Chain A
């Protein structure tokens, strides 16, 4: 009986099919027998292999301690981490005990009732242990909702302006007196020329365009605008935002424009930066490290300065991105997880490694005295850039954590782009003339988001009495 079964199968399967069938058998055996080691200690999920490297020594020290099990770390790409996180929060599946999450994907975790947020509420612990004062206050913003804080901030991420000092200074231009964006544009205008005679302009002052989602937000926050207020309400169509968007678009449109569409992280744009096609760019602290890795050719040619303000006396920095460490609802031993979180994030050593390996400035204020931040950085022509970032750290604009943040930011970008195309097609180039159209476009796009916000049955329409962790204007 078996033999005839075998012969039938033999007749039914072509050589290729037999290959697949045998792979299934062999593969099955191997997979089932290959063991997976499961460690009983804490589990930590993160998205950055660089971070895992940085935490290595802390992880080892924790693991060496006799009462504690070593922490198991898994690194996932951001989309994978997001899926896992959302799966865990919305389906109640087991997650790791601790997660390091990035700003852009944490929003949905705050969509439901405050009691149901997928992370452990850390507000009371932070308060009682005095950490709310030890850590840069505005940095808690993106991890708070309705007055409760759900994560330890990893960073501050102030934003400065990085510029080609080599090209600019040799052209005889001094940027140290520049205080506003208008002055900046005017100062660098002489450099907008065709220097190599090929009929095309070779230098533009600023790498910025109405399609650069992240940087639009950076500038908006700098100028005092924002997407959401401190209570999490949508303020995307505010008058202030309209003014700022009109201003930004006016830099990019028309014959007097001084911005150029050079974006970030791609090979093409890096080449353009090397050529000096764009002379300056918005640089959060982590971007310094990106440039060192991706554009080593610019070492010793770049300098940093505070962002020119929108008005005289205005804010000279902004903020971009961020990650936090949170304890998830799946954690069995919250106290152990909390102890580990503190050890990981609050140590001197981490503050130093963070800066030396990724140029990121710590949010723990007591580490700001460390001389490491005063060291001259050769890439930036010997500037003590750490200190420069730290000096502006307390001034970064506050942000909140709306679940609609990502959608709103996308629509903001769409609004800017729409305004740009309208201005370009209708010959409207100045910020005053663009203003009313900016307001109109913003209102239309905000409506799209607003309808979504109003559908939400979990977040009360009327603002809570509690303040959010960030305070002040938010995003």
Chain B
């Protein structure tokens, strides 16, 4: 058999110019995508159904004579959600927005600063610090729950937002990511040049480094926002006043002792998902590029 002809550029690139292969790929992806999305569809429908319809039908509510009856869909659950004063969902949303975004901002800048230090400065103890950071990624948070709680109590930080934000403002994983990112995107020569021109260290950091790690900033902010937004164990332990509770806790607490008001719960879940979905759509590109610069070629 003669040796195969040298591959054309298209063939190297994965050869999707071949329509049949393209169809196969889509044929594999589409069912998986549907399976992934089914729970969301179910969630949306469940939030629009009355309790009888919830137990009566899987997806779309059924009419009296069988077949589907879309007029049975209702916004009742949402109305109840927003008008029930004991749930106070408006305040919960504000709390969540604040907690998630403040943590994101704080953690990102702390991590960027520390990551930059580890990446572009040579100093004694750098290796030790790097190992410390890597080790910190491994420390299991459950281990710190009990003594951490005691500490917050001693510092008078229980039932404060500060007490919730500070402990997670030093993200070891974030430092690791930013260190990679800085090494990737910020050439040493640039910094040397700036130093020789007499720039202040802070100046270099804000004017040169930060803009160059922009994707990672966006990515990490998103990750942190997402984590804090969905976090409900932390707030339940640290916060006491119901007025400070974030959305995740409020919705989770709607599951009463025996009453499963699923409609309300589903509406709350959907409300909780929408803002992060919106943010994710906005930050999609950064997210991918950010992870690229941070994790690849580590």
Contact = CB atoms under 8 A, between A and B. Distances in A.
Interface of A: 4-5, 8-9, 11-17, 19-21, 23-24, 27-28, 30-31, 34, 36, 47-49, 74-80, 83-84, 87, 91-93, 102, 265-267, 270-271, 290, 293
B221 to A, nearest CB: 5
A267 B49 CA distance: 14
25 contacts: A8-B206, A8-B207, A13-B217, A14-B218, A14-B286, A16-B218, A16-B222, A16-B282, A16-B283, A17-B283, A17-B286, A20-B101, A20-B221, A20-B279, A21-B105, A23-B97, A23-B101, A24-B104, A27-B98, A49-B86, A75-B86, A76-B242, A80-B249, A102-B257, A270-B55
Contacts of B211: 8, 11-12
A475 to B, nearest CB: 21
Interface string B256-286: 1111100000000000000000010011011
Contacts of B285: 14
Given A20-B221, A21-B101, A11 B210 contact: yes
B22 interface: no
A1 B55 CA distance: 63
B282 A31 contact: no
B256 A93 contact: no
B95 A31 contact: yes
Given A13-B217, A76-B253, 5 more contacts: A11-B210, A16-B282, A24-B98, A48-B257, A77-B256
B74 interface: no
Nearest to B94: A30
Contacts of A23: 97-98, 100-101
In the complex, the 10 A-B pairs of residues with the closest C-beta atoms, listed nearest first: A27-B98, A16-B283, A12-B210, A267-B55, A11-B211, A23-B101, A24-B101, A16-B282, A77-B253, A8-B206
A36 B243 contact: yes
A8 B153 CA distance: 39
Nearest to A17: B218
Interface string B158-194: 1001000000000000000000000000000000000
Nearest to A29: B98
A266 B259 CA distance: 10
Interface of B: 54-55, 86, 91, 94-95, 97-102, 104-105, 149-150, 153, 158, 161, 206-207, 210-211, 213-215, 217-218, 221-222, 225, 236-237, 240-244, 249, 252-260, 279, 282-283, 285-286
A14 B288 CA distance: 13
Given A30-B94, A290-B258, A36 B244 contact: yes
Contacts of B98: 23-24, 27-28, 30-31
B217 A93 contact: no
Contacts of A47: 257
Contacts of B100: 23
B237 A87 contact: yes
A265 B260 contact: yes
Nearest to A270: B55
Contacts of B104: 20, 24
A86 to B, nearest CB: 10
Where chain A touches its partner, the secondary structure class is helix
B252 to A, nearest CB: 7
A385 B211 CA distance: 74
Contacts of A83: 236-237
Residue of A12, A20, A84, A265 most packed against chain B (CB within 10 A): A20
Residue of B243, B249, B252, B260 most packed against chain A (CB within 10 A): B243
A17 B153 contact: no
A27 B94 contact: yes
B255 A17 contact: no
B153 A91 contact: yes
Contacts of A92: 153
B95 A16 contact: no
Contact of B258 (A4, A20, A30, A265): A265
B262 to A, nearest CB: 8
Contacts of A79: 236
A17 B217 contact: yes
Nearest to A6: B206
A446 B237 CA distance: 32
Contact of A12 (B55, B217, B257): B217
A28 B165 CA distance: 12
B260 A74 contact: no
A5 B200 CA distance: 13
Contact of A5 (B86, B158, B206, B221): B206
B279 A19 contact: yes
A55 B283 CA distance: 49
Contact of B102 (A24, A78, A80): A24
Contacts of A12: 206, 210-211, 213-214, 217
A47 B259 CA distance: 12
Contact of B225 (A11, A20, A48, A265): A20
A14 B54 contact: no
A80 B251 CA distance: 12
Nearest to B252: A77
